[in-house]
Amino acid sequence: MTHHPKIYVAGHRGMVGSAIMRHLLANGHPTERIVTRTHAELDLTNQAAVSAFFAAEKPDQVYLAAAKVGGIHANNTYPAEFIYQNLMMETNVIDAAFRNGVQKLLFLGSSCIYPKLAEQPMREDALLTGTLEPSNEPYAIAKIAGIKLCESYNRQYGQSHGVDYRSVMPTNLYGPGDNYHPENSHVIPALIRRFHEAKVNNASSVTIWGTGTPRREFLYVDDMAAASVHVMSLPQSTYSRYTQPMLSHINVGCGEDVTILEVAQAVARTVGYTGPIHTDTAKPDGTPRKLMDSTRLNALGWQAQVRLEVGLKTAYEDFLTHYAT
């Protein structure tokens, strides 16, 4: 009989956490061997509550997909909340996991850990080689601290306690459960909303910010969940062969970037908007290219599966079901 570890998915109602849940359940992990708590039930910034939860539930594995997440505006307006809450959540969960015998934990970070001017595609060893993008520096510092927490617990307690905490850094994600807020969403959900509204209102055209030429990488969230479970499941000898004790995180991307105009055109096709798309070149473009180097992950046996057109179709269906007015 297969022994299923007891898995705690922190942030199971978020976009990534819910995709990890879908993946585990679809691959036969029994529901009763998954532990979850909503934010209302367990505030992960509360150390005493997190300790009590781990002591009571004693999970075998943890996916740390809970975080305070937001766009540029939120990061700029609430920098104290972004650094404090993320540091607290990581510190509380990672330390409580260790104190309660958890040997396997996966920490989710973000591509914003890399320097603003990192060479493209961004390799894992670009970490801490330059100045961060100021708008989300507090958030990025918290994420870097999360990686370093995992590495430090591995270095101090790996031999003695079998601690094996790993980190994955996803590129831009999209898919079911995304945030479609008009002012505070990422590129793909914002475009889905814009083109959907243009279609239903018979708008004469849609204008996108900037020249449309910056290149970005997008990964479907269920691919991210599959990659997370893949990395978590690798034998320790394999993981350590491809990582270093103080450079242990793994990029998760699809390996290809597209221009903003190409994404807009793909979203328009998905939504069924057939009018013209204009660019507003007076608006800023942002950095010309952002692409992860996912060679490490590919060498570890994982490749993205879901093509952009296919992922966009599911994302749009999710938008229509949950958000369209």
Ligand X SMILES: NC(=O)c1ccc[n+]([C@@H]2O[C@H](COP(=O)([O-])OP(=O)(O)OC[C@H]3O[C@@H](n4cnc5c(N)ncnc54)[C@H](OP(=O)(O)O)[C@@H]3O)[C@@H](O)[C@H]2O)c1
Q: Which residues are tagged catalytic?
A: 139
> Which residue in 69, 128, 258, 261 binds ligand X (CB under 6 A)?
69
Q: Which helix (H) or strand (E) holds 9?
A: strand 7-10
Please select the residue that binds ligand X; options are 45, 103, 154, 243, rule is CB under 6 A: 45
Cα–Cα distance for residue pair 115/96, rounded to 1 Å: 30
* Cα–Cα distance measured from residue 317 to residue 174, given in angstroms and rounded to the nearest whole number: 13
The stretch near ligand X (CB under 6 A) out of 9-17, 121-129, 241-249, 290-298 is: 9-17
- Cβ closest to ligand X, residue 128 vs residue 203: 128
Q: Which residues pair with 314 in a beta bridge?
A: none
By CB under 6 A, residue 108 contacts ligand X = yes
In the set 59, 121, 138, 170, which binds ligand X (CB under 6 A)?
A: 170
Residue 68 touching ligand X (CB under 6 A): yes
Least separation in angstroms between CB 95 and ligand X: 15
Contact with ligand X (CB under 6 A): which of 16, 292, 300, 304?
16
Q: Which listed residue (24, 67, 229, 308) binds ligand X by CB under 6 A?
A: 67
Asked if 20 is part of the footprint of ligand X (rule: CB under 6 A), the reply reads no
Region near ligand X per CB under 6 A, out of 169-177, 238-246, 253-261, 271-279: 169-177
Query: How far is it, in rounded angstroms, from Cα 112 to Cα 102?
Result: 28
User: Which residue number is nearest to ligand X in terms of Cβ?
Assistant: 14
Rounded Cα distance between 66 and 37, Å, is 11
Prior bond of 121 cis (ω within 30°):
yes
- Looking at 13, 116, 199, 313, which residue binds ligand X (CB under 6 A)? 13
Query: For ligand X, which stretch binds (CB under 6 A), given 8-16, 203-211, 298-306, 314-322?
Result: 8-16
Q: What are the CA-CA distances from residue 277 to residues 187, 202, 211, 311 (Å)?
A: 15, 13, 11, 21
Rounded Cα gap, residues 320 and 314, in angstroms:
10
Four-residue CA torsion sign, 12, 13, 19, 23: positive
Q: What does the per-residue mask of binding to ligand X show for 82-101, with x meaning CB under 6 A?
A: ---x---x------------
Is residue 22 part of the contact set for ligand X (CB under 6 A)? no
Q: Measure Cα distances from 82 to 75, 76, 77, 146, 178 in Å.
A: 7, 9, 10, 13, 19
Q: Select from 186, 193, 194, 296 the one that contacts ligand X (CB under 6 A).
A: 186
109, 150, 114: which is closest to 132 by C-alpha? 114
- DSSP SS3 for 231: helix
Question: Could you say which residues in the range 202-261 bind ligand X, by CB under 6 A?
Answer: none
**Which residue carries 């793994």 as its tokens?**
250
Residues 168 and 249: their CA atoms lie apart, in Å, by 6
Would you tell me which residues interact with ligand X (CB under 6 A)?
A: 11, 13-17, 39, 43-45, 65-69, 85, 89, 108, 110, 170, 172-173, 186
